[in-house]
Structure 1
């Protein structure tokens, strides 16, 4: 069991996304963090520079379309989150954490949705 609040970190992540606050968002990640996105093919982003490039573009999309928290659940390995963009249920993200309470890895994939809805990743 960790001695930090994993759910709280994910809530902070959601808040940073909603506000479009890239600096705060990046500070939640470990220096060697990795994000794997399987929404449109499989892409991996490693380290602060690649995460900054990825999230810079994504936060712009979130701010114009709207970002909503759908579900957040603790799991034995971390936390799962479902969020929507533009009121369409869209993305499920699994968060894994480093021992010091930073996001170490993430896997995002499309959540169940109608084929016409598309994906935000």
Structure 2
């Protein structure tokens, strides 16, 4: 694994979500990145166009409802993050990275304490 700042990259991801900046968010992902979301059923998205279709409606929700960083910590081979939407709905996301310093994959799911509320991710 290269020596880029994985935690910094995830903080940049949080900042893009807070700002509702789709271009900035997509630039953090590798061209062949994939996202797996288990918030409302299990769905997979591959590549920039599918990630854009996934994130575009969610970012407006995040920026209008409020997006909060709850927990962030390194794990073997990546970073785990827990964030909140509207101060209550908590989502857990796991990030893995390419050697070029881009997000290779993201897996998101409702955090355990709010699993009954669904997910906005």
Smaller-chain TM-score bracket: over 0.9
Residue 18 of structure 1: aligned partner: 18
- Structure 2 alignment gaps of length 5 or more: none
Q: TM-score, normalised by structure 1?
A: 0.95
Residue in 2 aligned with 1:98? 98
Q: Indicate the residue corresponding to 1:61 in structure 2.
A: 61
Q: 1:115 to 1:97 in 2, by over 3 A?
A: closer
Q: 1:41 maps to which residue? A: 41
C-alpha deviation, 1:89, in angstroms: 4.2
Alpha carbons of 1:110 and 1:17: their partners in 2 closer, same or farther (altered >3 Å)?
Answer: same
Deviation of 1:115 (Å): 5.6
Deviates more, 1:42-51 or 1:85-94: 85-94
Match of 1:111 in 2: 111
Count, aligned residues: 121
Q: TM-score, normalised by structure 2?
A: 0.95
Structure 1 pair 82–115 and aligned structure 2 pair: CA distance change class (3 A): closer
Cα separation, partners in 2 of 1:28 and 1:87, compared to 1, 3 Å: same
Q: CA RMSD in A?
A: 1.2
Where does the alignment leave 5 or more consecutive residues of structure 1 unmatched?
Answer: none
Change (3 A) 1:35 1:18: same
Q: Which residue is 1:81 aligned to?
A: 81
Contact 1:90 1:118 in 2 (8 A): no
**Per the alignment, in what secondary structure is the counterpart of residue 101 of structure 2?**
coil
- Runs of 4+ displaced beyond 2 Å: 113-118
